[in-house]
Amino acid sequence: MSTDSAFSYENLAATAKAAPSGTTAFHSTLVPLLKSWKTPLYSFNAEILDNALKSVDANTCSLVYLQITTDALKLASTAEHVELSLAALAHVSTKVDLYQLQACPRVMHHLALALKSIGMETQEHERICQLLLAMVEQINLQMISTRHSTKSKKGKAAKTKLESLGADSNRGVRITPLHIECLKQCLLARRRQLHLQTMQTVIQVRLDAFGSLTIETRARSFMEYHLYASMVCIGLDEFEWALQMLYLVFALPARHASTIQVAAYKRLLLLNLAVNGKKAKLPSFFAGSHLRVLENNAAGYVSLADMFTSKSMGQAMSKLQEMQATLENDENWGLVNRILHMMPRHFIKRVGSAYSSVGMQKLMDITGFAFCPLAAGDPFAELAQYIQNMNDPSVVLEQPAGTTTAKDAIVRFTDARATISAAEQRSSTDCIVNEQQWAMLVSEKAKELEELCQHLSKLDRHLGLTKECVFIVKDQN
């Protein structure tokens, strides 16, 4: 340990004490020091870590805590060093200050990189994820409380405070490098309970804007966050949530398609086949030239989606087997196995668009259910069981009198509206029996549509004038 190294940390701590959060000294002295900070040590030193942490006031200088802990994580070379560094981070995680992080977000970026490296070396992904969850929860709570406190203020004072915190301040929960690394560590940990905790603490917290505390990587952070969030949702079988996350990967305007969007598009095609039984469509505002790039890079997936919607199950399963190597290389084979049981229902319901009833043999021939991995034993018995498990009132399995085998059963397809209760029918449009009632209904719907158009028009003008939208466009130019 050199004396210069000790002095460097002592100066950092002393500067932090002399520059409380929110003061001019904080912005003019401490923030520039941290932005240009380079680790003064060449090797891990437990004494310096311990002394430095003791000398810093945690209530006003959480940035310094984070910087010193980040240095320690980067220099940790033994299990003992890692243990000391993670213990220090556990102490820091409860004292994160949002105001300071907004002033110097690159500290979070360096901390996320250090934790990623430690996770790869030690494989302690669960522990690292727990630490990050604690920090993310603190940050989210401060963002939410800051947003509400700002909204409650009126007049010039509130505007002055908003401007003093910067263009990106007080907009609610925004994405940070710690949010993204938390999702990554959760996926690597492969623990269902951790997935549930991450879902509640990170994913289900509503983002108030497209914002990120790291403006330089705003678009990339937004896309990464939602791609990894979708993977956590898939791990919990929350497929509708996963679809929402994947669609948001394509929500920002861009000059070109990214590799993140290519990966998301492949998963989106597979997941939408399982959930909705058809090829996924991207938002209409997504550039056609970008879509062509995505389709070229995911040609096999697009071919599978087209085949799924126009061919039999047997051909679709054959295509999946052909693509196994590609799916494994893209790390999507596990997703296919997870959603495979959802796919036959769409082939079965598709038959109902042409037939009101059909025998099991004909249904088997049309759908190609015999080629499905679910039909391991008696395919007719498995198909009958699958239809019962669908629990869909519009697909009814009937056993004719005098027959006992599943092969002799008949499947009847009914209009879903026929299964609505009498009370629900009375409140539906089916109870409208004269032209006057229809005219009133159409008039009401037209009025609602006009109000919606006016609202969207105002929203477009609002987005065009907000700093948030300007920042997004600048990021892509």
Which tens digits make up the pLDDT trace of 41-67?
Answer: 778 877 777 766 666 555 556 777 788
- The tally of CA atoms less than 13 A away on the side-chain side of residue 86 is 22
Q: What mean pLDDT comes out for the span 380-390?
A: 90
Please tell me the predicted confidence (pLDDT) of residue 87: 86
On whether residue 469 sits in a domain, the answer given is no
Q: State whether 402 and 370 are in the same domain.
A: yes
Q: Which two tokens stand for residue 105?
A: 């977000």
R_g of the chain, CA atoms, integer Å: 28
- Tell whether 308 is covered by a domain: yes
Last residue of a domain, one of 314, 342, 370: 342
Does residue 254 have a pLDDT over 70?
yes
Q: Are 360 and 411 in contact (CB under 8 A)?
A: yes
Q: Indicate if 264 and 319 belong to the same structural domain.
A: yes
258 and 279 fall within a common domain: yes
377, 381, 383, 384: CA torsion to nearest 10: -160
Structural domain of 336: 250-342
Q: How confident is the model at residue 433 (pLDDT cuts 50, 70, 90)?
A: very low
Share of the chain above pLDDT 70, in %: 76
187-192 contacts: CB < 8 A, separation 24 or more?
187/228, 187/231, 187/232, 187/235, 188/119, 188/125, 189/125, 189/126, 189/129, 191/126, 192/235, 192/236
In a domain, 15, yes or no: no
278 and 301 share one domain: yes
Helix axes 313-322, 299-310, angle to 10 degrees: 170
- 395 and 333 in a single domain? The answer is no
- pLDDT of residue 261 exceeding 80, the answer is yes
Q: Are residues 310 and 329 in the same domain?
A: yes
Q: What is the reported pTM?
A: 0.77
**Residue type, position 261, single letter:** Q
Q: What average pLDDT score do residues 413-425 get?
A: 53
Top-confidence residue, 34 or 73: 73
Number of domains in the chain: 2
State the chain's mean pLDDT as an integer. 79
In the structure, what pLDDT confidence band is assigned to residue 241 with cuts at 50, 70 and 90? very high
Using 50, 70 and 90 to split pLDDT, how confident is the model at 5? low
Highest-scoring range by mean pLDDT, 164-178, 421-435, 436-450: 436-450
Residues 363 and 324 in one domain: no
| Lowest mean pLDDT across 58-67, 271-280, 376-385, 468-477 | 468-477
- pLDDT higher than 80, residue 293: yes
The verdict on residue 280 lying in a domain is yes
Percent of the chain clearing pLDDT 90 (strictly above): 27
pLDDT at 373 over 60: yes
Cα–Cα distance measured from residue 363 to residue 52, given in angstroms and rounded to the nearest whole number: 73
Beta-carbon count within 10 A of 429 CB:
10
Residues 380, 414 share a domain: yes
What pLDDT score does 60 carry?
A: 54
